[in-house]
Structure 1
Amino acid sequence: MIADIVVIGSLNMDMVVRVDRRPEQGETLLGRDFFMSPGGKGANQAYAAGKLGASVAMIGQLGEDLFAGQLLNNLSDARVETRYMEKVQGQSSGVALITIDSEGDNSIIVAPGANFSFTPATIRKYEEVIRQAKILMLQLEIPLECVMEAARIAKAHKVQILLDPAPAQPLPDELLCMVDYIVPNEAEIAQLTGIQVMDEPSAIEASLLLRNKGIGTVVSKLGDQGVVVTDASGSIFIPGMKVDAVDTTAAGDAFAGAFATALVEGRSLKDAAYFANAVGALTVTKPGAQASMPDRQLTESFIKALPR
């Protein structure tokens, strides 16, 4: 087996500015500080799983620039297999421009660069890598046709599919019916269902609609409220874990990587979601995307100290 978890998705260099508030249209603000941090939804999820000790490989595309080496080295530091990365001639690596306000909330603009050079033919080259995985993780920062092709390959080989439907966009039923686990936040589940999700009852309502489209398990992320997990046996609610939020960037990616890690370890859905909730909570307590993600030891210490 090449890796238990295979991630196909984006890599970006995040350029982050802290601001007291986000600017209005046409307004210029002075920020407080600036830093760069490796990111991209695909890379973030691979990094999170790798840092937690999972066997994980990533398939992705980079440009011919200084960022490419930094992004690859950071994944390697988390023990992510990077041999399936490709550099695209004449393209830049993906870049994300991020502002973080005084409450720790972020706004993000992504210039995808090489991430959008993916084609279905690129995906097909790695069919054997996908075939040997236990879980294939997908997001929506590469062309949708490539996400679809990866899902078809995984389905043909009975590999479970975990989809993070971000950035939010309409998705075809053909894709949704192939998904075993979907992990949307409130905005993403509203985009997919037309239901405004604000609490546990509305999350369950929206989750049942997605289940009717053929999705196996819906994990609705409600921010600091917690998580609602809905599958064929019903729904369970896992309350949020109270922490002091510094930067919410990549909290959802950390959740997804941790959730996949727990699943391949054989944990129950409830335990996997609780573990992922802890990892997501810890991630918001530090600045940056991958730089903020906890390792196994820190996560288990945090969970041990929580009231149960």
Structure 2
Amino acid sequence: MSNTIAVLGSINVDTTYHVERFPQPGETLSARDKSSAPGGKGCNQSVACARSGAKTYFIGMVGADNEGKFMREAMQEDHIDTSHIGIDELHGTGTALVTLDANGQNDIMVYGGANQAMTTDVLKNCGPVFDDIDILIAQFETPQAVTLAAFKEAKKHNVVTILNPAPAHKIIPELLQYTDLIAPNESESALITGIEINDEAGMKKTAEYFKKEGIDNLLITLGSRGVFYSTASGQGLVPAFKVKAVDTTAAGDTFIGAFASQLKTDLSNVVEALTFGQRASSLAVQKMGAAPSIPSYDEVKAALAEK
């Protein structure tokens, strides 16, 4: 049975330019195509949670504009509770400009807008949410001060907190004290800790670093190599599924949301949940777009059943 999850985070409208290769500095290239779709790390993760079967709430902000209306309606189509998405009258809805090359790799420029203007006021009236949820997920496309306040409240309700520190920033030390599980990718991990993830020794050293900071549970996503995990019950590497990627946008977000949807709150099934998340991510990268590429629970289970 899936969890009940709240995602605190960013909401963006993604505009993707499809190119053969990335431009050099000062160079102008023609795009083969252009498309727009729902995105933002928070939104993507909530969609992955919902499509993986979790009852899902979203806590965030959009602007008083057409993009904000579009995003709320898109999330509601995935049965995400959007009643705690506030309206910012002064800042526009977040947007992202994605450049996607022929190999499925991307680079992304983000305008934070209402996401970055968010304050702790967004948490008002969220008491019933914290009463209902098993897990709270947050990222770094919204202010850390809001995440800290939300994690503090979550711990009062015995909610498991998952921090996806992306994009990597210096972390408010107090935030780590309220984080049950931290899930960076390998480059984010290195930026935060100063420890390069070149081998298993580096991964274990990183786990010790976070334990000293008060976090006993760590995931490091390693792209095609899989995911390293370290919990109270053990450490290990869950391999990735080998597929041909056409668009890696939202691959990590799909993994986080799908993983969280299946994770028991005592983390006793971490390998099983990681495998589910990895399979969901492998399906997402075979389709175009951020939220549109995220698979359903049935699609993931069918793919897992394949030999």
TM-score clears 0.5: yes
1:63 aligns with 2:63: yes
Contact 2:95 2:112 in 1 (8 A): yes
- In the alignment, the residues of structure 2 paired with residue 146 and residue 174 of structure 1 have an alpha-carbon distance, to the nearest angstrom, of 12
Q: How far 1:230 moved relative to its partner?
A: 0.3
- In the alignment, the residues of structure 1 paired with residue 112 and residue 51 of structure 2 have an alpha-carbon distance, to the nearest angstrom, of 25
Contact 1:13 1:40 in 2 (8 A): yes
Which SS does the other structure have where 1:115 is aligned?
coil
- In the alignment, the residues of structure 1 paired with residue 186 and residue 105 of structure 2 have an alpha-carbon distance, to the nearest angstrom, of 15
Which SS does the other structure have where 1:153 is aligned?
helix
| Amino acid in structure 1 at the alignment position of 2:15 | M
- In the alignment, the residues of structure 2 paired with residue 74 and residue 264 of structure 1 have an alpha-carbon distance, to the nearest angstrom, of 28
CA RMSD in angstroms comes to: 1.6
Structure 1 match to 2:93 = 93
Q: How far 1:198 moved relative to its partner?
A: 3.1
Deviation string 1:274-308 (CA, Å, 9 cap, x unpaired) is 111111111111010000000011101111114xx
* Runs of 4+, deviation exceeding 4 Å: 264-267
Structure 2 match to 1:295 = 296
Q: CA, structure 1 residues 265+179, in 2 after alignment: closer, same or farther (shift >3 Å)?
A: closer
| Amino acid in structure 2 at the alignment position of 1:294 | P
Structure 2 match to 1:205 = 205
Structure 2 match to 1:216 = 216
- In the alignment, the residues of structure 2 paired with residue 138 and residue 144 of structure 1 have an alpha-carbon distance, to the nearest angstrom, of 9
Q: How far 1:270 moved relative to its partner?
A: 0.8
Which SS does the other structure have where 1:50 is aligned?
helix
- In the alignment, the residues of structure 2 paired with residue 289 and residue 230 of structure 1 have an alpha-carbon distance, to the nearest angstrom, of 28
Contact 1:94 1:110 in 2 (8 A): yes
Structure 2 match to 1:84 = 84
Deviation string 1:180-227 (CA, Å, 9 cap, x unpaired) is 111110111111210111343322221221122111310110001101
Q: How far 1:89 moved relative to its partner?
A: 1.0
Q: CA, structure 1 residues 157+265, in 2 after alignment: closer, same or farther (shift >3 Å)?
A: closer
Structure 2 match to 1:244 = 244
Structure 2 match to 1:128 = 128
Q: How far 1:265 moved relative to its partner?
A: 8.3
Q: Quick one: percent identity of the two aligned structures?
A: 36
Please, which runs of 5 or more residues in structure 1 have no aligned partner? none
Structure 2 match to 1:112 = 112
- In the alignment, the residues of structure 1 paired with residue 261 and residue 199 of structure 2 have an alpha-carbon distance, to the nearest angstrom, of 27
- In the alignment, the residues of structure 2 paired with residue 236 and residue 250 of structure 1 have an alpha-carbon distance, to the nearest angstrom, of 24
Which SS does the other structure have where 1:228 is aligned?
strand
Aligned residue-pair number:
304
- In the alignment, the residues of structure 2 paired with residue 36 and residue 189 of structure 1 have an alpha-carbon distance, to the nearest angstrom, of 30
Please, which runs of 5 or more residues in structure 2 have no aligned partner? none
Which SS does the other structure have where 1:117 is aligned?
coil
Contact 1:6 1:56 in 2 (8 A): yes
Contact 1:37 1:291 in 2 (8 A): yes
State the TM-score, normalized to the length of structure 2: 0.95
